[in-house]
Amino acid sequence: MQLKSLVPMPYRIAGAAFMALALVLWVWRLDSLRAHYKAELSYITFKVKAMNDVANETDKRWRLLENTWKVKHTAIDEEKKHEVEAIQRKLDTAIAELQSRPTRASAAASTAKGATDSKGTGGCTGAQLFRDDAEFLTREAAAADNVVAELKACYAHYDTNVE
Q: Are 162 and 78 in contact (CB under 8 A)?
A: no
Residues 6 or more apart whose CB falls under 8 angstroms from that of 132 comprise 103, 104
pLDDT of residue 77: 95
Quote the DSSP letter at residue 122. Answer: S
Residue type for 36, please?
A: H
- Where does the pLDDT of residue 99 fall: very low under 50, low under 70, confident under 90, or very high at 90 and above? confident
Residue 135 has pLDDT above 80, yes or no: yes
| Band (100; pLDDT cuts 50, 70, 90) | confident
The mean pLDDT of 141-162, rounded to a whole number, is: 93
pLDDT at 162: 80
Domain locations in the chain as residue ranges: 68-104+126-163
- Give the mean model confidence (pLDDT) for residues 58-66: 94
pLDDT digit string, tens, across residues 34-45: 988 999 999 999
Contact predicate 138/94, CB 8 Å: yes
What pLDDT was estimated at residue 2? 65
8-22, 65-79, 131-145, 148-162: lowest mean pLDDT where? 8-22
Residues 6+ apart with CB under 8 A from 128: 117
pLDDT more than 70, % of the chain:
83
What average pLDDT does range 87-106 have in this prediction?
87
Question: Among residues 92, 27, 94, 163, which one has the least CA distance to residue 19?
Answer: 27
pTM of the model: 0.57
Residue 70's Cβ-count burial label (10 Å; 0-12, 13-18, 19+) is exposed
